[in-house]
Structure 1
Amino acid sequence: MPTGYLLRAAAAPRALSDTGADTVRGIILVCLCFLIMTTGDVAAKWALPVAGLTGAMIGRGLFGGATVLGLAVLRGGEGWRRVLPVRWRLVLLRSLLHSAVSLTWYVAWETMTLADTYAVGFSAPLLMTLLAIPMLGERIRWRRALSTVVGFGGVLIMVRPGGGLWTPTVLVLLLGICGLAVSRNLTRLLSTTETPECLSFFLLATHLPVGLLLLTVLPAPGFAWDALIALAVLGLSNGVAHWLNSQAFALAPVSALAPYEYTPLLWGGMLGYLVFGEVPHTSSLIGAAVVAAAGLYNLHREQARRRAERVGRTEETTWPS
């Protein structure tokens, strides 16, 4: 067994941080993550008519797992051994849960626009923030709570309960969003013992056996070169994005990162229009403005907290007790 892995397994769990500097770094990483991940979502929607649900799951698992494994090797040190889990049962549970989440999104993309699915998905940050209290013991500062409430108001504007978005497919997607919120919090919890490479590798690689299992009940994927390239883009982008996501959740509290779950609507709305000619509802655009304002306010508060921490450290150095 590699020495580095044994040291990680024997070491005490790392403490979860909640400092202004780490939180701002986490916010930057998670925003970059969602930009890259949205590109993969566009690729998945492009491939679905040919590859089907099974092809999307298999492609994401195969190409995504290989991408993360490559990132682990390029980092040096333990190399590929960085993907070995310490708490393997919890890692596997999170990975299987996220595979089910992915399936609900792929089902939704067969009939819904990217912007509409992201609009419904905006309920995830609220669930993440609330679940972080019992799952992670996080303390929710009143400003973070306020930004979450404001963001949820934007969700209500976009989703419009009783409106055109409420279909049976939305109900399936909502189940997946509940699983997504749990999965995000498990990412934060597991970051105390697992590497970003481990968390992202198993999350993506598990899609491969799940996709193969689905072949027993769903049609086999078709073949076209453009669909195959799209699946490769899906896996590559998701590998990098989930690697960044795991690092972000190791740095920042869930309640600070949750508002940035809203940013895919911005990227997805633009890419959906450019690639598929999709036009989001006016209510989606209005709601996006509300949730973006809530997220930017949260970033402003974290930057202010970082400046206050620096001032405090300076004063302690100048005026020792």
Structure 2
Amino acid sequence: MSRPGARLAAFRYRGQRPAIGGSPLTLLGRPKEGQGEGQSEGRILLETRDPQGATCRWPRPPLSDRQPRAGAPMPRPASASVSAAASVSASATASGSGAPVPRATTPIAAAPPLPAAPPARPVLDDAVRGIGFIALGYAIIACADAAVKWALPQVGPAAAMIWRGVFGAIAIALLARGASLRPVNGRLIAGRSLLHCAVTLVYYIAWVRAMPLADSYAVTAAAPLLMTLLAIPLLGEAVGWRRWTSTGVGFAGVLVMLQPDGALWRWEAAMLLGGVGFLALTRIWTRLLTRTDSPATIAFWLLLAHIPVGLLLLPFFPPPRLLPDAPTVLALVFLGTANGAAHFLFARAFAIAPVSVLAPFEYTTLVWGLVLGLLIWGEFPAAATLAGAGIVIAAGLYNLHRERVRAREARMGAAR
């Protein structure tokens, strides 16, 4: 006989005698697990007979539906509906008469509601924080470059590299707070660090030859365009015709800056343009190194490499003075610590914000170069330099826009 759904809801096995409502049932037996109607439910069945003599087979209720034995503590319900179910009286058989005797129970009150959580404090968007870190980092780098340009006539390029390496590596080690700085891809880190030392030497030679700070930054603006070209063979990136066109327009802006009889028509500018090519290559290698090494590790070994390279270059670039004066020493200490702090800010920014958001702020160094060069040395770039730099920056920003479009199209294609 199949069990009615209403009876199943009222049925409770109390360890003594089963009952439906208040009517007792006769327990006939407990078949083994998985037999009869309860086979799909995997519970022990009970065979009962109601007062009319009909035989029923019932699945044994789960533990959560059974009432505890006499004297056992009642579990605390999680809601009012559970406490109402727990307040149903148990049936007991009166001695001698066989009539059920109801046993009164006290309903259990529901647990008091938890106090509402305080409203969460608004968290600044990660992209905004990353922009703040990267903008501050480039401002610090520009100030450090101004400091070393001011100190170079007294110490020379080789000694300036040593000062930068010593205090920059110390600053990175302190900011890392005990994190491991051991490189994973040691060969690539060594190659990148040595190549970056060559870039540093090129800039220091140009500055010691009285090249204006803003002019050097204007030439540096071509680095993202060179990165676009180098990413094709080194990273396997595909460049469409739009980016090819904008890159060509950007190099036309470089020619505007380096036009004959212009302010940048000098061998230092040509040397600096070659250094910018090395700089673009080091940034491509940085993208590869971030797959294996932390940014702090990359920056630490880059600055540390300046010490032995500077020592090797001392015979070729001897310092004009054996011991610089106190203001020059302070400028060189600031150079090293500022470079370390800036690289740490760069690492923090690229860890919390997308590269496409942060890349345009690289051009803010040109603004800082204009301001610092005008305040310290009274330098101001020529009109052709500013016009060419504007063309280069516009081309770089367009390339960045196309990278965003391609990334968005790739995400949409992957989601389909």
Q: Report the TM range for the smaller structure's normalisation.
A: 0.7 to 0.9
Larger helix percent: 1
**Correspondence 1:45-60 to 2 at 5 A:** 45-60=149-164
Corresponding residue for residue 201 of structure 2 = 103
The answer to whether the Cα contact below 8 Å between 1:259 and 1:291 also exists between their aligned partners in 2 is no
The CA deviation string for residues 63-90 of structure 1, in whole angstroms up to 9 with x for no partner, is: 11111111111xxxxx241x21001111
1:158 equivalent to 2:262? Answer no
1:88 equivalent to 2:192? Answer no
2:191 is matched by which residue type in structure 1? Answer: L
> 1:279–1:70: structure 2 CA closer, same or farther, 3 Å change rule?
same
Corresponding residue for residue 310 of structure 2 = 211
1:132 equivalent to 2:236? Answer no
Corresponding residue for residue 201 of structure 1 = 300
SS of residue paired to 1:263: helix
Superposition RMSD in Å: 3.5
The answer to whether the Cα contact below 8 Å between 2:147 and 2:332 also exists between their aligned partners in 1 is yes
CA distance in 2, matches of 1:132, 1:269: 30
Corresponding residue for residue 217 of structure 2 = 118
CA distance in 2, matches of 1:22, 1:306: 19
CA distance in 2, matches of 1:24, 1:299: 18
CA distance in 1, matches of 2:127, 2:227: 16
Larger Rg: 2
Residue 55 (structure 1) shift: 2.0
1:267 is matched by which residue type in structure 2? Answer: W
The answer to whether the Cα contact below 8 Å between 1:118 and 1:264 also exists between their aligned partners in 2 is yes
1:268 equivalent to 2:369? Answer yes
CA distance in 1, matches of 2:208, 2:348: 31
Residue 106 (structure 1) shift: 0.2
The answer to whether the Cα contact below 8 Å between 1:188 and 1:249 also exists between their aligned partners in 2 is no
1:68 equivalent to 2:209? Answer no
The CA deviation string for residues 46-71 of structure 1, in whole angstroms up to 9 with x for no partner, is: 11011111221011101111111111
**Correspondence 1:244-263 to 2 at 5 A:** 244-246=345-347, 261-263=362-364
CA distance in 2, matches of 1:85, 1:231: 27
Residue 216 (structure 1) shift: 3.1
Corresponding residue for residue 41 of structure 1 = 145
> 1:237–1:298: structure 2 CA closer, same or farther, 3 Å change rule?
farther
2:289 is matched by which residue type in structure 1? Answer: L
Match of 2:267 among 168, 179, 193: 168
Match of 1:180 among 279, 287, 308: 279
Corresponding residue for residue 238 of structure 1 = 339
Corresponding residue for residue 7 of structure 1 = none
CA distance in 2, matches of 1:186, 1:257: 18
CA distance in 1, matches of 2:281, 2:404: 27
Corresponding residue for residue 289 of structure 1 = 390
Gaps of 5+ in 2: 1-124
CA distance in 1, matches of 2:137, 2:269: 25
1:226 equivalent to 2:348? Answer no
> 1:145–1:238: structure 2 CA closer, same or farther, 3 Å change rule?
farther
The CA deviation string for residues 265-294 of structure 1, in whole angstroms up to 9 with x for no partner, is: 221111111111111111122233334444
CA distance in 1, matches of 2:246, 2:357: 9
> 1:96–1:145: structure 2 CA closer, same or farther, 3 Å change rule?
same
CA distance in 2, matches of 1:87, 1:303: 29
CA distance in 2, matches of 1:256, 1:134: 25
> 1:70–1:95: structure 2 CA closer, same or farther, 3 Å change rule?
same
Residue 38 (structure 1) shift: 1.3
* Residue identity (%): 51
User: Normalised by the size of structure 1, how large is the TM-score?
Assistant: 0.76
Higher-RCO chain (CA-CA 8 Å, sequence separation at least 6): 1
1:192 equivalent to 2:291? Answer yes
CA distance in 2, matches of 1:164, 1:70: 42
The answer to whether the Cα contact below 8 Å between 2:219 and 2:389 also exists between their aligned partners in 1 is no
Residue 240 (structure 1) shift: 2.4
Residue 236 (structure 1) shift: 1.9
How many positions carry a matched residue from both structures?
287
SS of residue paired to 2:342: helix
Residue 93 (structure 1) shift: 0.7
Residue 247 (structure 1) shift: 5.8
> 1:199–1:103: structure 2 CA closer, same or farther, 3 Å change rule?
same
